[in-house]
Chain A
């Protein structure tokens, strides 16, 4: 199985800050990676697919990059509504696997 490791596990930042989360795969997954946002008590929401493609309707302050084993998720200017936990997910091989999540808080 492919292991996905996110860092940091939690992050505190101020409104307007640039925020970066990394995700590392235990083997090469090409660009077969998605990013999700999960707010408390809610289902995850797709933000980025195929490592760098923005889902329709998602604000452009969200972006993703990377390929192979190392990926980055960025919020260019943190907004109060971005407070959530973020997960990466690989789909190169079954079983699908998720990172452990990064909990983002406002400083």
Chain B
């Protein structure tokens, strides 16, 4: 059974960089046809896709965040990471990591981390 677990600081100061790591267990991050995504959800609001990475290192980002986002992968540790720079209060949210399964032309998020709340405040 694949499991994902987010980790990182729960409090980040404005203008600083938010850094989170997702550790994947129960399977290799390198095996199969999967992208690995970050998704966030402000309190009481909907879901926003941030971006994804393939194990080759290929990335796709949401244009609304592209200038501030970097997603990377460390296959030796079975982890992938998110960095979001120049954060403001608007970046306060629960951040989820998720596996984006690809089967032919089908894509879906079938495994999710439990989510981690990141608050941007001085």
Contacts and interface: CB of A to CB of B under 8 A. Distances in A.
Interface of A: 1, 32, 34, 36, 42-46, 49-50, 55, 87, 89, 91, 94-101
Contact of A87 (B46, B61, B107): B46
Interface residues of B, number: 22
Given A43-B112, A44-B109, A95 B49 contact: yes
Given A98-B46, A99-B46, A43 B114 contact: yes
A37 B37 CA distance: 18
Contacts of A42: 114
B47 A91 contact: no
A94 B60 contact: yes
- Interface SS of chain A: helix, strand, loop or mixed? loop
Q: Which 4 A-B pairs have the closest CB atoms?
A: A43-B112, A96-B49, A95-B62, A91-B107
Given A50-B106, A91-B107, A44 B112 contact: yes
A44 B108 CA distance: 12
Interface in B10-37: 37
Contacts of A1: 63
B96 A91 contact: no
A73 B36 CA distance: 26
A81 B108 CA distance: 23
